[in-house]
Chain A
Amino acid sequence: MRILVIAKHVVDSTEIRWDEARGEVLLRNLPTKISDYDRNALEAAVVIKEGGDLVDLDVLMVGGEPALKTLKEALAMGADKGYLVDGGWDDPFDPLRTACVLAQVVGGLEEPDVILGGLVSEDGYNGISGPALAQLLDWPYVAPVLEIEAGDGWVQAVLDGGDVRRTVKVPTPCVVGVDSQMNVPRLPTVLQVMKVKSDRTVKVPLGDADTSATTTLVGAKSGAVERRKIVLDGSPQESAAKLVESLRQEGVL
């Protein structure tokens, strides 16, 4: 069986801040990594590989040269080969363009049975690339997947349907959106990432993929709600008393 995980190279979202003075999101010189949700997808794929006999597990990432380190992180988690799309871009909010590039590149690889990805990305949170990719490939899409079993020509998945857990079986090849509730991803050590040999990464050309923008970020403002930050100091007893008094005055008790 051939599994391909699509993983996004992102700026670590826990490090991103809003710069009040400049009125912009601070992104420069921040650490980059695999999008958390794609780690769940990778973990799911590695578990399938560990449990099955013959599974080829590859990772596909967009992002150009700067994403190479991130790709090695994915390989250190247990993937065999990493494909890096040559020619990335800076706009993380264009899920359709991403899907077009992924579809083009997947078309040039040996056809996977299953493509796994996180349900959303930690920068854009769109959750659109997966189903759009499925549409462009004309494949089934299953999501949000809580449990997965893959066999010869089929995938059986337990889906989070809100008020129901639904189990469905779809034919392969298919695209699977992994819910972050499914597992706790393993974290490779720095040493494991360093040990990943360069010959396990392959650059794939964009070819004639349509990379024109389908959306553009035209403005941004701080997402924070201004709060009063009133510090209630003193002993635990004193600060508790002050808090209760303040909340009574607010009328929320």
Chain B
Amino acid sequence: MAGRFVVSAASVADLQRVAAAARELAGADGRVEAVALQGDGGLAPAGAAAEQVAAALGGLADALVVYDGAGAWLRGDVWAACLLDALGDGADGLFVADAPAAREAAGRVAAARGASCASMCDAVTRGADGLVATRSIYGGVADGSISLPLAPAVCLFAAGKYEGEASGAAPAVERRRAPAPAYQAEWVAEEPVVKTVDLAAAPVVVSVGRGFAKAEDIELVKPLLERLGAELGCSRPIAEDFKWLPQERQVGLTGVTVSPGLYVALGISGQVQHLAGIKGARVVVSVNNDARAPITRNADYVVVGDLYKVVPELVAALS
């Protein structure tokens, strides 16, 4: 085993996860080095001072390299420049937790190093020829094994697949100066996005799909949400095409990945991209008037019927 791995992430919890993944491959003899960016405050991980980051990495990482002067916001190109510097002569793998700026950072590093790269990795193991990543392909139809022969294997990890907890002494912190950006980007404005729901953590999720004829009809689901203590989710067309619900409620590969105890799909056909987002659900229920919809083959309990009639009956039965 052994080997050298460099890890980085946009949040402390994610950094612990990717460090845990690297630790598993590096073993006790190998070396795991974490990279953090600081600018006007903590950037990667966000909002964390170097000491806090180091404390969270006890037992997980052997060193923490902090790049100061990385700017006012997390830029993918600056992140990439720091990672390239940290990689130095080379490493077996560069593990980064998936996030928008992380994709730019990973893509740039892989291109600059002529390396192999895969995103949305669920797991990474050692293969005959370098590392092998397991990830969803064709929108969730299959789980593919992707061989990454060119070091450093740049892997972007999907959220929440690894768990990492600090144990033991914090690694030593080395401070370096972030490389200057290759171009000037002007910060024009920034407004906070108010998140009203955390679907990923909800114990019960009821999602609506194209079986609903108009936006107002979603009101029908409100009493059901109350009875079940559920959060409201939706399929892609409801958020993206019709814009009846905000993006934060979209369940699926390009939306939120959920893992509730109970998932109720109302009028959702069950495209693979949607199914990929509910893999972690314990019990899946479908109410759909089309018996041939893919969701009926991918649910535990199937009610073939008119949701406009079934939902009120469900509410009554739960009362």
Chain A residues near B (Cβ < 8 Å): 11, 13-14, 16-18, 25, 93, 95-96, 99-100, 120, 122-136, 138, 140-141, 143-144, 156, 159-171, 180-181, 184, 214-225, 227-233, 236-237, 239-241, 243-244, 246-247, 250, 252-253
Contact = CB atoms under 8 A, between A and B. Distances in A.
A252 B283 contact: yes
B301 A16 contact: no
B104 A229 contact: no
A133 B139 CA distance: 23
B147 A13 contact: no
B210 interface: no
Given A18-B142, A165-B190, A181-B247, A128 B195 contact: no
Contact of B186 (A13, A138, A169): A169
B144 A229 contact: no
Contacts of B187: 166-168
A220 B134 CA distance: 9
A128 B119 contact: yes
A8 to B, nearest CB: 13
Contact of B305 (A160, A227, A239, A246): A239
B107 A135 contact: yes
Nearest 4 Cβ contacts at the A-B interface:
A131-B107, A240-B313, A132-B111, A135-B111
A230 B300 contact: yes
B271 A14 contact: yes
Nearest to A228: B300
Nearest to A233: B304
A243 B303 contact: yes
B272 A223 contact: yes
Contacts of A127: 103, 107, 119
B127 A218 contact: yes
B186 A168 contact: yes
A241 B148 CA distance: 51
